[in-house]
Structure 1
Amino acid sequence: MSTQMPFEGLLLGAALTVVGLIVSWVVWRRRGASAGLRAVAWSLLPLAFGLIGLMELLASLVGQLVRFFVGLVLDPLAWAGVAVAGLAAVLWTTGRLLRRRGSGASGAAAEQKAAPGRPDAPAVGGAPSRKPQAPAGADDDFAEIEALLRKRGIT
């Protein structure tokens, strides 16, 4: 690490502090001492960064971010990466929505775990089931299904 003080960062920090102090004065006049003092505090940060030596780091970071986003706009391979990341986000969100609704494998597994010895026991997250009133001709159609449900202890 160099022992020389980087004057470019210090000059940039000082210039930004002067601009910030001018804005702070305007804020003090319009909004009062409380807002003005907070603005002065924010205005002193660039000078502190310049004195510490962080201004070069921040300038480098900003330059790298600008190059990254310019490269992102112009690179089709980068757009493919953005599309894949978007697809991953959509799939993750869809999975969360399905989980909330109780559908999917976890919902079916929860229904199968209902206590077979207790016919009135609700499935996980469900209410005790009541037998719905079926139309007169529907008894024959549902007899097989009711037998299967009784066998599993669901009704």
Structure 2
Amino acid sequence: MPDFNDLTLLPFCVGLTLLGLIGSWAAWRRRGVAAGTRGVAWSLLPVSLYLTGLLELVWDVVRSAANWVTHLIFSPTVWSGVALFGVSVVLYVVSGMAKSRRGDTVKAPRAEKKPASPAGELTATGPAPASAAPAKAAKPAKGSKAKQQESSEFDEIEDILKRHGIN
């Protein structure tokens, strides 16, 4: 791409502005004030960019982006980097799938076995059969309020299960 040149861009910007103003005048007559005013606003941009020095900045950005795209498309080194990135993403996804299938999670230490619980209470192996103990559940000895509340919740669940014929 050619370099930025002040002498060639000033007449170009002035020409763009004049063409835009002519088009804005035509739009004003055909479509009304709003279209004409909008055209004047767009027409003044090339000269304002040139006078503020932003046109050189825009030119440099466009030139750098074009060089980057050209380098990206035609460079085997860049394409090998893109391929390696893709391989790393695929390997990461595959490792996550293998971990979830195999169960490579850190296993918690086994809990100590507790004595058998009264009928109707849930245990680690499931609820104890309701027919194995008397209908009334034994009160926990010296239990806290949390244990009593937990026991009452399990009693409610047991009653619901019995009503539905599930023991």
- Range of TM-score over shorter length: 0.3 to 0.5
TM-score, normalization by structure 2: 0.42
